[in-house]
Structure 1
Amino acid sequence: MLYDLRKMTSSLCHDTCSESGYQFAGLEYGAECHCGNRISSPRAPEEDCSLMCRGERGSPCGGVGRLSIYKVEEQLPGHRKFRNVHYSGCYKMPKATVGTFPIYSVQTNLTVQSCIETCTDKELPLAVLRKPHCFCTWTSSLFSLSQQPRDLPCVGNRDRNLTGTAVSTEPTDDGYYQVYHTPVLDSRCKERMFLPQRSDPLVALSSFPGAGNTWVRHLIELVTGCYTGSFYFDGTLYNRGFKGEKDYWKSGRSICVKTHESGQKEIEMFDAAILLIRNPYRSLMAEFNRKCAGHLGHATDAQWKSKATLLVAEWPDFVASYAPWWASHALSWLKFGRRLLVVHYEELQKALFPQLRRITSFLNVTVTEERLLCAQTNQDGHFKRLGSQRPSFHPFTPDMRRMIDSFIHTVDQALKGRNISGLPQEYLPR
């Protein structure tokens, strides 16, 4: 589900569902977008859908418990564009194995695009292809994380960043198949639940705002099947599927609890913590974007240059206030945190599986390889800003940089003082 309180439009919902491979787009409450492949409820009176889209006057966006349903426009084969399509690798498999996959087709003019379209329509998360054969299946141990995919037989014949262009594929060696993740989330990874018994200890997922806390919560829920909680309540996140938002943060029913707090009292209320740290330059920009344009939007050039408003401070004042907080947040958790696992946002991006294994081990949760593969398949979800839109000018002045670099050095030394690896080199110069 996609939620946008201020800018939801029928076209935004339509495009989101289309890019995720669904046939229907449904709008509710004027701001919520739901996607699906079938309609299971009877038709309701038109007057029940009386709410207009928040970002589009005159366009119906459902009602209270009612959906305005649109049929996603069917695009010509080979021209459909999908979100969250990832190249997995080139695997060697015997014919007897691929013959057990649930969907199989022969396509004379097979392309990566056409095979992904086939598997997306069949609601299966993996497209496995070798000209002229296209197979569709679920994630499984066949695509073992410990088995290094061999790229050599498929070099020159894959499209790692699928954009909708039809790309021919034909491995050079027998028995090798290209594997792509489609936009479909494996049905076995959709289930979420609260912990059946009270969790002991109480674990924080602590970060400075803008450090990727929501993204990491998404990954933890995906890989463990358990809800994460929050020290706060964010209705937007609740409506996007984070049901732990409404649960009392000390209930012990969540696998970990989001917090941005950095006071000694607040830190010592937790028995353990995952401390998520991100490059302060990127964190500051991400948080300013969120304040100006919500969880998925970007601030405009005018907002980067504008004066302060009732909701958002002027950019220089924002940096002057938030940059010291970035440092004090990490320093406080390093000083008062009882049991810590430090995770760097950038390292999680670069090495998803090893970092997720560290996190789940710290949480004392055993996860299956299929769940880890599901995390790779849907690692972005709908919780990351799309694209890397930035202001047309460099927002950090030399004075800002000197201040921020000094904070980087201080936090780096504090980490090493607790016998923890220092900050990634890309945060520096020191």
Structure 2
Amino acid sequence: FSPERPLLRIQRYFCRKPVRFFSLILLYLTAGSLVFLHSGFVGDSGPRARGGRDSVVASEAGGRASSSDTRGLGIMSRVFKETRRTGRRFGPRWMRKRRNAKDVDDGRAKYIGCYVDDTQKRALRGVSFFDYKKMTVFRCQDNCAERGYMYAGLEFGAECFCGHKIQAPNASESECNMECKGERSNTCGGANRLSIYRLELSQESARRYGSAIFKGCFHRPDNVTAALPFSAVIQNMSVDKCVDMCTEREKSLAALAGERCYCGFPTPLFSLHELEDEDMCLYRCPGEEFESCGNDNFFVVYQTQVQDNRCMDRRFLSARTKQLVALASFPGAGNTWARHLIELATGFYTGSYYFDGSLYNKGFKGERDHWRSGRTICIKTHESGKKEIEAFDSSILMIRNPYKALMAEFNRKYGGHVGFASQAHWKGKEWPEFVKNYAPWWASHTLDWLTYGKNVHVVHFEELKRDLFSHLKGMVQFLGLKVSEDRLLCVEGQKDGNFKRSGLRKLEYDPYTPDMRANIDELIRTVDSALKKRNMSGVPAEYMPR
């Protein structure tokens, strides 16, 4: 009897294909089970509470609950309770019923019809872009709305055109028959045919005509020669001719009044704050039948590409100040944009609690100064601890809708200041984990500054965006500086700066789950209550849950 015979038999046993196959399957299942059990134990042993940040929010909510009813405490406990919830499962994508964009009026855009397009004379004469793999109706609409156009048109299934006026006749609906390359359930025009949508979101931003931005219809200023010092009569007047003339004269405004073109800058005499109904300016241009040129009493105004230099000079404070003013915000709440506005409005650099080389390279020269240097007009900070807050003598507190702020910060974290997080990040584990950690911080950040801040001036991002002139004026006054209206009007003309994300890659779906929304909605109520307790106006209406 040889001792090698049993080993030889085992070897021959595993050499048989069926046995070898089932043995490997068994080993694979065993290993998978062990990994699954291990991950379950690790997940259950994680932290059950966030400590500092959550306690501040919970205490604020607790005070509110005691003054109303105890139900609030129960709701708040759900906000911070880290329980596992199984996500809702949907069927395969091909089983989901999808609605055609033509039939949907979601407040963003409305389908108005199929139109003829000519490569020599476009129906929509603004910007255009193409995507022969992923074009969708939403992408085209969002791209045009972000740039301020009134209309978005899709053609050949992959081409997107923008414009503020349709300059072509209607075509039969049957001629717009090409599916979108990135969304086969929707139609994206046809061969030399545009599926055109009227954009509602464009009302929130400026409309464009070529390189010029349409500002609106305005009543003739009382002293037109002082308000718009240069003018000329132009034969066969058109928007292009007036804009070109004012650009050559290095003026930022071009105002059309029939056959006369006026050029100048926005001033208190002509501030562009009192819009008239556009119907008052609907007088056909002599040189272009599809354009409006206004008349002697109502001007059609465009902003040219000429830079208004009245607010571009910036410098450090001549004398070092001992009063440190914070520009505080939760990340993603518009702090960099606010710094841009403050620097243009005051003429002084802003500083930072941190150092960001990309911001320094973009012109924020105060970025390199130590935050206690005293050479900057205010200091950016996202800190929210008692010690850090009490280091400042006063503060401007920027607050933004948490739904927008969280998405903005997530994009910045994974895509940079003007980049975007990838689809893998949004649909992976990063986004739920981010919301779980950052949403309570949004609330606790505001509550900390309201609690420990010595002199707090609250500014809501949305209100600043809606009425920049008056809110920025209030910020300048809070900083103890004299307000220059000419300078503020200059800021209005170049308010975006270098850190505005394009709308081209906005998500086409809602990333917030019902559980996320329930938690965030309760945090919004907590912050709203805290503001009102301190005799401040609560959060803007659009924050509040519906």
CA contact (8 A) 1:230 1:259 kept: yes
- In structure 1, the partner of 2:47 is none
Greater mean deviation of Cα atoms: 129-138 or 324-333: 129-138
- In structure 2, the partner of 1:154 is 280
Question: Shift of the alpha carbon at 1:252?
Answer: 1.3
What is the letter of the counterpart of residue 191 of structure 1? Answer: D
CA distance in 1: counterparts of 2:419 and 2:236, whole angstroms: 39
Rg larger in 1 or in 2? 2
Question: Shift of the alpha carbon at 1:399?
Answer: 0.8
Query: Measured at CA, do residues 298 and 220 of structure 1 come closer, stay the same or move farther in structure 2, by a change above 3 Å?
Result: same
Question: Shift of the alpha carbon at 1:96?
Answer: 6.5
Q: What aligned pairs does 1:168-317 form with structure 2 within 5 A after superposition?
A: 168-172=291-295, 174-307=296-429, 314-317=430-433
CA displacement, residues 75-133 of structure 1 (integer Å, 9 cap, x when unaligned): xxxx98337x350541314687169724x444333333442343334432111221222
- In structure 1, the partner of 2:518 is 402
- In structure 2, the partner of 1:338 is 454
Question: Is residue 2:214 matched to residue 1:101?
Answer: no
Query: Measured at CA, do residues 317 and 168 of structure 1 come closer, stay the same or move farther in structure 2, by a change above 3 Å?
Result: same
Question: Is residue 2:82 matched to residue 1:82?
Answer: no
Question: Is residue 2:449 matched to residue 1:350?
Answer: no
Question: Shift of the alpha carbon at 1:291?
Answer: 1.4
Q: What aligned pairs does 1:26-45 form with structure 2 within 5 A after superposition?
A: none
CA contact (8 A) 1:229 1:247 kept: yes
Please give the secondary structure, in 1, of the residue aligned with 2:503: coil
- 1:132 corresponds, among 238, 241, 259, to 259
What is the letter of the counterpart of residue 210 of structure 2? Answer: K
Please give the secondary structure, in 2, of the residue aligned with 1:267: helix
CA distance in 2: counterparts of 1:183 and 1:347, whole angstroms: 27
Query: Measured at CA, do residues 281 and 166 of structure 1 come closer, stay the same or move farther in structure 2, by a change above 3 Å?
Result: farther
Query: Measured at CA, do residues 403 and 138 of structure 1 come closer, stay the same or move farther in structure 2, by a change above 3 Å?
Result: same
Please give the secondary structure, in 2, of the residue aligned with 1:273: strand
Please give the secondary structure, in 2, of the residue aligned with 1:210: coil
CA contact (8 A) 2:228 2:265 kept: no
Question: Shift of the alpha carbon at 1:381?
Answer: 2.2
TM-score of the two chains, using structure 1 as the length reference: 0.72
- 1:327 corresponds, among 443, 457, 468, to 443
Question: Shift of the alpha carbon at 1:400?
Answer: 0.6
CA contact (8 A) 2:228 2:262 kept: no
Question: Shift of the alpha carbon at 1:152?
Answer: 6.3
Greater mean deviation of Cα atoms: 126-135 or 286-295: 126-135
- Give the number of equivalent residue pairs: 337
CA contact (8 A) 2:220 2:297 kept: yes
Query: Measured at CA, do residues 380 and 113 of structure 1 come closer, stay the same or move farther in structure 2, by a change above 3 Å?
Result: farther
- In structure 2, the partner of 1:67 is none
CA distance in 2: counterparts of 1:195 and 1:86, whole angstroms: 37
CA distance in 1: counterparts of 2:465 and 2:290, whole angstroms: 27
Q: What aligned pairs does 1:13-28 form with structure 2 within 5 A after superposition?
A: none
Question: Shift of the alpha carbon at 1:234?
Answer: 0.9
- 2:496 corresponds, among 358, 380, 393, to 380
Larger % of helix: which? 2
CA contact (8 A) 1:195 1:253 kept: yes
CA contact (8 A) 2:217 2:301 kept: yes
Question: Shift of the alpha carbon at 1:338?
Answer: 0.3
CA contact (8 A) 2:439 2:520 kept: yes
CA contact (8 A) 1:284 1:322 kept: yes
What is the letter of the counterpart of residue 199 of structure 1? Answer: T
CA distance in 2: counterparts of 1:340 and 1:150, whole angstroms: 37
CA distance in 2: counterparts of 1:232 and 1:119, whole angstroms: 42
- In structure 2, the partner of 1:46 is none
CA displacement, residues 315-374 of structure 1 (integer Å, 9 cap, x when unaligned): 000111110110110010010000000000011111111111211111111121111111
CA distance in 2: counterparts of 1:203 and 1:302, whole angstroms: 40
CA contact (8 A) 1:112 1:166 kept: no
Question: Shift of the alpha carbon at 1:153?
Answer: 7.0
CA distance in 2: counterparts of 1:94 and 1:410, whole angstroms: 49
Query: Measured at CA, do residues 222 and 96 of structure 1 come closer, stay the same or move farther in structure 2, by a change above 3 Å?
Result: closer
* Gapped regions of structure 2 (runs ≥ 5): 1-146, 148-207
Question: Shift of the alpha carbon at 1:197?
Answer: 1.3
CA contact (8 A) 1:90 1:153 kept: no
- In structure 1, the partner of 2:84 is none
Question: Shift of the alpha carbon at 1:167?
Answer: 5.5
Query: Measured at CA, do residues 113 and 344 of structure 1 come closer, stay the same or move farther in structure 2, by a change above 3 Å?
Result: farther
CA distance in 2: counterparts of 1:207 and 1:193, whole angstroms: 24
CA distance in 1: counterparts of 2:281 and 2:513, whole angstroms: 44
Greater mean deviation of Cα atoms: 108-117 or 340-349: 108-117
**Identity of paired residues, percent?**
52
CA contact (8 A) 1:107 1:134 kept: yes
CA distance in 2: counterparts of 1:288 and 1:128, whole angstroms: 42
CA distance in 2: counterparts of 1:403 and 1:100, whole angstroms: 53
CA distance in 2: counterparts of 1:243 and 1:131, whole angstroms: 46
What is the letter of the counterpart of residue 229 of structure 2? Answer: F
> Relative contact order, CA 8 A, sep 6+: which one is greater?
1
What is the letter of the counterpart of residue 394 of structure 1? Answer: D
Question: Is residue 2:269 matched to residue 1:142?
Answer: yes
- In structure 2, the partner of 1:59 is none
Question: Shift of the alpha carbon at 1:156?
Answer: 3.8
Greater mean deviation of Cα atoms: 382-391 or 279-288: 382-391
What is the letter of the counterpart of residue 91 of structure 1? Answer: H
TM-score of the two chains, using structure 2 as the length reference: 0.57
- In structure 1, the partner of 2:151 is none
CA distance in 2: counterparts of 1:423 and 1:129, whole angstroms: 41
Query: Measured at CA, do residues 255 and 131 of structure 1 come closer, stay the same or move farther in structure 2, by a change above 3 Å?
Result: same
* Gapped regions of structure 1 (runs ≥ 5): 1-18, 20-78, 159-164, 308-313
Question: Shift of the alpha carbon at 1:154?
Answer: 3.4
What is the letter of the counterpart of residue 256 of structure 2? Answer: L
